[in-house]
Amino acid sequence: MYNKKVIEHFSKPKFFGKIENPDIIGKAGNPRCGDLLTIYLKIDKKTSKIKDIKFETLGCAAAIAASDMICQLSIGKTLEQAVKITFKDVSDELGVLPPLKIHCAQLVTEALRDAINNYHPA
Amino acid sequence: MKNSKVYLDYAATTPLDGDVLKKMMPYLKDKYGNPSSIYKIGREASEAIDNARSEVAKFLGCKETEIIFTGSASESDNLAIRGLIKNLRRAKRAGEKTHIITTQIEHKAVLETCKDLEKEGIEITFLPVGSDGIINLDDLEAEIIPETDLVSIMYANNETGVIQPIKEIGRLIKKINKNKEHQVYFHTDAVQAANWLDCNVEELGVDLLTLSAHKIYGPKGVGMLYLKENIPLLPLITGGDQEWKTRAGTENVAGIVGMGEAIKQIKSPANSAGRRQSKIKIIEKLRDKLVAEVLIRVEGSRLNGPEDPKDKLPNIANFSFRGVEGEAIILSLDQEGIAASTGSACTSQALIPSHVLIAMGLSDSEAHSSLRVSLGKHTTLQEINYFIKILTDTIERLRKISGR
């Protein structure tokens, strides 16, 4: 069902957890489908690059792996670059997600975009 | 223990028993005759089926002529419901109503069959259950109308192990039938019950009953329908005269032989009533230990289903864990060599959580976080201890990831 890469990111995610005093937070998901996720970001104010990023995900293996992947893809990028990450980028980077799990990749990009939309630097 | 398999999904399927396989082998190799052929190897195959049929009849306390072998329990459920309705409808006057009563917690083989018939204009009542997963007899009685043709209620639930009061329902239907112009027939899917509960059809008061071979240490691909004599039922698979002209197709001889042997072993001399009960007690004790330890060690865990042991099978436990999702639990356990199940939507094609848990009043998130553990005759104390340890670690790890 899942390839090795998905299982790897599910079993040993690198970016899970919470950032204390994050600059921005993004959320996505609903209890009906079972996936709920929050993404925390620290932004370098001068360069508007993502300095640090973490996730908390209540969800299936694909949702956890996709959360980890979007953090990996976006860390070090500027917000302008990060907002362009698509669910296909996440899915491709994980190898192949089963068709029923593509919505997990959509969910994590939604959360990241939600966060970026919430960014209003002083 | 990591590389060894700890199988805790006996409600999904059971391993084929070694003695059952031995009995099947000749019919997969040398005794390959078609049971409909009248020469020697044909007769041998036909006799083997007769013997299996006789074992099943003994187990159910019925006649051999009341046993129909099928390709699966799902087929048996379909044959029971569709076969009966097909026949009754032919006898009805134009515009006359057809009514089936079933429950919200049936196996999909019954539930989806009823939903399909509903689209064809047949009226279906889906009885609710309480938070304990049990139907209310008064609800059932109130739903029976003059046009009611069939009541189909499962004996024991596959997700929770909850037992329905089949004997009481049987008695109720008998009572109602006394004053009813046309009869209400009573079908039960007894697939999960067979290993544990009395399946005597007279005692239960059922007219139709479904069994599966692979849930009782027999082979996959064989099911059985008990059909009380003189109950009008039309075949769904038409063709030859096999299975009393009710299910055409050359018989799965080895499979049927396997089912006969598997049934025989449930009540074999080595499994006398006393010994059988004590074996069941051992499994129940292991299940109870598992439940007690999980509830103590894993904070934010709950047991789904009734408290009273007489209301549930001795081998199933269904939990919900706050802040985790079922598929993630299953895959984490799998990585440590443990096989179990979940009612989470994430393992289903429909992305809808377990209809059984939802019917019992669980929230979507409680159903998504559910875990079903089902024990069987090979389960050991060592396996249970290993499971408890791995589960505790798994829930802790996943909660760190979910932050809940």
Flag whether A8 is in a domain. yes
pLDDT at B73 over 90: yes
Q: How far is CA B150 from CA B111, B117, B125, B153, B185, in A?
A: 14, 13, 11, 10, 5
CB of B80 closer than 8 Å to CB of B210: yes
- Tell me if chain A has a CB within 8 Å of the CB of B335: yes
Quick one: average pLDDT of B349-367? 89
d(CA A21, CA A7): 31
SS3 A53: strand
Instruction: Tell me if residue B195 falls in helix, strand or coil.
Output: coil
Contact B131, B360 (CB under 8 A): yes
Q: What is the pLDDT of residue A32?
A: 74
ipTM: 0.94
- In a mutagenesis test of the B interface, which of A15, A40, A60 is the best target, namely the one with the most B β-carbons within 10 Å? A60
Q: How far apart are CA B259 and CA A107, in angstroms?
A: 47
- B339 vs chain A: nearest CA distance in angstroms? 15
The answer to the question of residue A42 being in a domain is yes
- A1 confidence band (pLDDT: 50, 70, 90): confident
Q: Which residues contact B400 (CB under 8 A, 6 or more apart)?
A: A16, A17
Percent of chain B scoring above 70 in pLDDT? 97
Whether A9 is in a domain gets the answer yes
The alpha-carbon gap from A12 to the nearest alpha carbon of chain B, in Å, equals: 10
Query: E strands, B73-207, where?
Result: 99-103, 123-127, 148-152, 185-189
CB contact under 8 A, A16 and B400: yes
A34 touches chain B (CB under 8 A): yes
Which distant-in-sequence residues (6+ apart) come within 8 Å of B124 by Cβ? B99, B100, B101, B102, B114, B115, B117, B118
User: A31–B353: do the CB atoms touch at under 8 Å?
Assistant: no
Tokens of B184: 């209400």
Average pLDDT of A24-49?
Answer: 92
The Cα B396–Cα B324 span in angstroms is 9
pTM over 0.90: yes
Contact (CB, 8 A) for B297 and B251:
no
Question: What is the per-residue pLDDT for B356?
Answer: 97
State the residue for tokens 């070090």.
A76
Write down the mean pLDDT value for chain B: 95
pLDDT on residue A33: 76
Which residues of chain A have a CB within 8 Å of the CB of B324?
Answer: 58
Domain count, chain A: 1
Is B403 within 8 Å of A32 when comparing Cβ atoms? no
Name the residue among A77, A71, A70, A81 with its Cα closest to residue A105: A70
With CB atoms and an 8 Å threshold, state whether B325 touches A63.
yes
Within 8 A of A27 by CB-CB distance, chain B residues are: none
Buried-state track B70-81, b at ≥16 Cβ within 10 A, e below 16:
bbbbbbbbbbbb
Whether B62 is a known active-site residue: answer no
What's the pLDDT at B141?
A: 97
Which residues of chain B does A59 touch, with a Cβ-Cβ cutoff of 8 Å? 325, 328, 346, 402
Q: How far is B323 from chain A (nearest CA, A)?
A: 6
- Whole-number pLDDT of residue B268: 75
Tell me if B325 and A58 make a contact (CB, 8 A cut-off). yes
> Nearest CA to B155 among B125, B198, B185?
B198
User: Per-residue confidence at B91, pLDDT binned at 50, 70, 90?
Assistant: confident
pLDDT (0 to 100) of residue B349: 66
pLDDT tens for B225-254 read 999 999 989 999 999 999 999 999 999 999
**CA B197 to each of CA B67, B167, B169, B191, B277: distance values in angstroms, whole numbers, following the listed order:** 19, 12, 16, 11, 10
Task: Check CB contact under 8 Å for B324 and A31.
Answer: no
**pLDDT at position B30:** 94
pLDDT tens track for B287-318: 999 999 999 999 999 999 998 999 999 999 99
Contact B325 A31 (CB under 8 A): no
Can you give the pLDDT at residue B272? 80
CA distances from B201 to B78, B117, B228 (A): 19, 26, 9
**Distance, C-alpha B155 to centroid of its chain:** 8
- Tell me if A122 is assigned to some domain: no
Note whether B358 and B364 are within 8 A (CB): yes
Catalytic residue selected from B62, B114, B199, B346 = B346
Query: What whole-number distance in Å separates Cα of residue B404 and Cα of residue B393?
Result: 15
Centroid of chain to Cα B126 = 18
Q: What is the mean pLDDT of residues B312-336?
A: 96
Closest of B319, B339, B342, B350 to residue A60, by C-alpha = B342
C-alpha torsion sign, points A56, A59, A65, A66:
negative
**Domains located in chain B, CATH noted:** 18-266 (3.40.640.10), 272-402 (3.90.1150.10)
Q: Angle B139-B142-B145 (CA atoms, 0-180°, nearest 5)?
A: 135
Q: Residue B314: which of B290, B344, B342 has the closest Cα?
A: B290
As a whole-number percent, the residues of chain B with pLDDT over 90 amount to 90
Distance from CA of A78 to the nearest CA of B (A): 25
Reply yes or no on whether the pLDDT at A115 is more than 90.
Answer: yes
Region B45-61: mean pLDDT is 98
* Range in B2-11, B28-37, B144-153, B163-172 the model is least confident about: B2-11
**CATH of residue A70:** 3.90.1010.10
pLDDT digits (tens, 9 = 90+) for A38-79: 999 999 999 999 999 999 999 999 999 999 999 999 999 999
Size of interface A-B (CB pairs under 8 A): 63
pLDDT digits (tens, 9 = 90+) for A86-105: 999 999 999 988 888 999 99
Q: Is B403 left (phi over 0), alpha (psi -120 to 50) or beta?
A: left
Kindly identify which residue of chain B lies nearest to residue A61, measuring between CA atoms.
Answer: B328
Contact at CB, A61 and B402, closer than 8 angstroms: no
Residues forming beta bridges with residue B102, ordered by sequence position: B126
Binned at pLDDT 50, 70 and 90, residue B345 comes out as confident
Q: Which residues pair with A25 in a beta bridge?
A: A40
CB atoms closer than 10 angstroms to residue B152: 25
Reply yes or no on whether the pLDDT at B4 is more than 70.
no
Contact B348, A58 (CB under 8 A): no
What pLDDT, on a 0 to 100 scale, did the predictor assign at position B94?
79
The values of phi and psi at residue B75, to 5°, are -65, -40
What pLDDT is recorded for position A100?
A: 87
Would you tell me which residues 44-83 of chain A have a C-beta closer than 8 angstroms to some C-beta of chain B? 56-64
- Containing structural domain, residue A113: 4-117
In a domain, A50, yes or no: yes
Q: Is A98 on the interface with B (CB under 8 A)?
A: no
Give the CA distances from residue A100 to residues B149, B180, B280, in Å, rounded to whole numbers and listed in that order: 39, 49, 40
Span B191-230, pLDDT tens digits: 999 999 999 999 999 999 999 999 999 999 999 999 999 9
